[in-house]
Each structure stands twice: as C-alpha cells, then as structure tokens.
Amino acid sequence: MSYKQAVHILIFTSLLLMLAACNTSNNNSSVIENMNDTGTENENEVKEEAVEEEEPEIVKELSLPSDVLQKGDQGQSVDELQNVLIHIGYEITDSSLYDNETVWAITDFQLQTENLLATGLYDEETRLELETVLDNEISLTPGVGLAFVEEEQIDEDTKTISNPYDVLALINKQHALPADYEPIDLVVPDVRFPFVEDLPKKQMRKVAADALEKMFGDADLESLDLFAQSGFRSYERQDVLFAAYVSNHGEEQANTFSAKPGESEHQSGLTMDVTSPQVNYALVTEFGETEEGIWLQENAHKYGFIIRYPEGKEDITGYQYEPWHLRYVGIKAATEIMERGITLEEYLEEKLNK
C-alpha cells in the first residue's frame, strides 16, 4: 500500500467515526427530550387528576318554606327553615325535626322582632320577617330575646320549662313554669264574664285571646251562652289557692283537681275556664252535658283550643275530667288532638320521639 492510499484510508475512517459520534449525540438528545416531554405529560396528568379529585364546595340554596310549622313537624320544609336559622347565626342542629332547639330559635327571633307574637310557631308573619332579615342581611344576635337553657331539675319528679313562651309547652306535674314567669302580652279578651270586677283572671295571652273572641263570636251565632270564668293566674295566686285546697282536702286529693304553683296552665296565659248559665256559671263536670259544653267538644279545635283534661285520661294528665278547662295550642295541633281523642302528653310524646 502506498503512502497516499494509507492517508486516504485514515481520513475516511476518521470521517466515519465523527459521523457515528454525531448520531449518538443526536439520539441521546432525543431520548432526553422524550424523557422531558414524558415527565411534563405525566406531571400534567397528575395535576389534572388532582383537579378532578377536588370536590366542589356544596352551597345550600336558602329558601323559606311556605308551610305553617310547629314543634314535632318533620321533613324538607323543616330542613329549609333550619338552614335559614343556621345561616343567620343560630347554632342548632340541622335535623329536619322541629325540635326544642328550633322552637327556641324561632321564639328568640320573635321576641327580637317588634311585630311578632312569641309563640314558637313558624307562621306567615314569622316567614315575612325572616325574609326581610335575609334580603337585607340584617345582623342578629341569637339569645338576646330568650337565652337557650336546658330544663332544670327542680326535684326528683319535676323539671322547669326552659321556654315558657312556647304555645305547645307541656305544663303538668312533671314540667313546671318558672316561678317568676308572667306573660308579656296579656290582654283582656272581648268576651262575656259573669262578674264585672277588673281582675287579673280576665286576662289571656293575645294569641289565645284573639282565638277566644272568634270562638265566642261563632258560639253566639249558634245562640249559645258561653261565659269566660278564669284565665291568667300568677304563681303567687296559685300558691295561695293550692294551700287552701290542701288545708281542706289534704295534698293528695287536692292535687287531683288543683295544681301546685308552677304546674298550673293558668300561669301560662294560654288557658281559660268557661261556663254557662245552665250550670249557674260554676266549673262543674255537668257543664260537659250542656249545649255549650257539647259544642265546645265538637268545635273548640277549630279555634286552636283543646279540652285539656278529657274524661278517661286521668291517669295520663294527672287531673280529673274538666270539660270547662280550655288550653290554646294552635289550630294544627288542636285538630289532631281532638279528632284522635288524645291528650297533649300523648301528642307531644309521639311527635318528638318518632
């Protein structure tokens, strides 16, 4: 081989090596680029998956129910009402049951609102006021009208009622009104009384007095002679009366027809004893057999009243049959109680412990 040929071979070999090196470099660059692209794609996929896994926050749409609601009611309408109450600051449980917490929240709101009667019932007037608070984002401080407290045990058998404004409050030998409770909305209903003196027992809470006036008016149209005999009675007055009955009959017997102080529905302002000339304006069981007594048994519920101590239920109510003793609970509850022939005790037990 000549010197010139050897030089040519050496040059050619060098060129081949250079070309091989360039291809290797390009291949490595492509691999790196592919790795980078793959990493970016994987990273984007992870990010997209993370975004997909994030659940959007569920915001409940607030709306006020149009139904009239009360203690013991259940369902979507109650749930809607509770969501609104929670939204405006009430720390209550969203249970879909119109329980004692909900009754308290509604009562507190009513006490803080000038144009509302404090009843614990969710009615059209309360709905309109709540709507105003929502629409205008009005600030409200829960508990200003009525502080939330648990029922306090007085003795082994009796608790103090925590919300005496509640028109469905159960007042009996196991549940007593606070000694210092006196309704703030007492009025004298425009009905007949068999006496002319201006006595406290003429008074009732306004929601009950309005209903009593309507009932007496309709009874008049039926040519009936109803008379109101005894409404509101203070804790102190009940104490005096019960002591007198105990003196004459002994405590056990006295407690079958008269309540201990705090345990009388008369203190609530939601009760009126009624009578008629047919029984000489007395409060006697014979009143139940008069035209007026029979009419009340058939119609009192239409105005929101029940005969609180019905015949045959003495073991449940703890008191003797009193056809003259009317208690206001609202039309909805009164209708079910009277039509089913049950007591307030039985009604609330069923509603709150389903």
| Active site amino acids | 322
Distance CA(107)–CA(208), nearest Å, equals 16
Contact yes or no for 119/185 (Cβ under 8 A)? no
Distance CA(103)–CA(93), nearest Å, equals 12
> Which residue, among 64, 264, 204, has the nearest Cα to 215 in the 3D structure?
204
Cα angle 289, 292, 296 (rounded to 5 degrees) comes to 95
> Which residue, among 203, 102, 100, has the nearest Cα to 161 in the 3D structure?
100
* Residue 95 β-bridge partners: none
* Residue 159 β-bridge partners: 153, 175
Contact yes or no for 93/101 (Cβ under 8 A)? yes
Pull the structure tokens for residue 155. Answer: 């003795």
Phi, psi of 122 (to 5 degrees): -90, 105
Pull the structure tokens for residue 305. Answer: 């009243």
| Burial classification of residue 216, based on how many CB atoms lie within 10 Å of its CB (0-12 exposed, 13-18 middle, 19 or more buried) | buried
- Can you give the C-alpha Rg of the chain in angstroms? 38
* Residue 229 β-bridge partners: none
Contact yes or no for 122/69 (Cβ under 8 A)? yes
Q: Beta strand 159-160 with 175-176: parallel, antiparallel or unpaired?
A: parallel
Q: What separation in angstroms does the CA of 91 have from each of 98, 124, 297?
A: 14, 23, 41
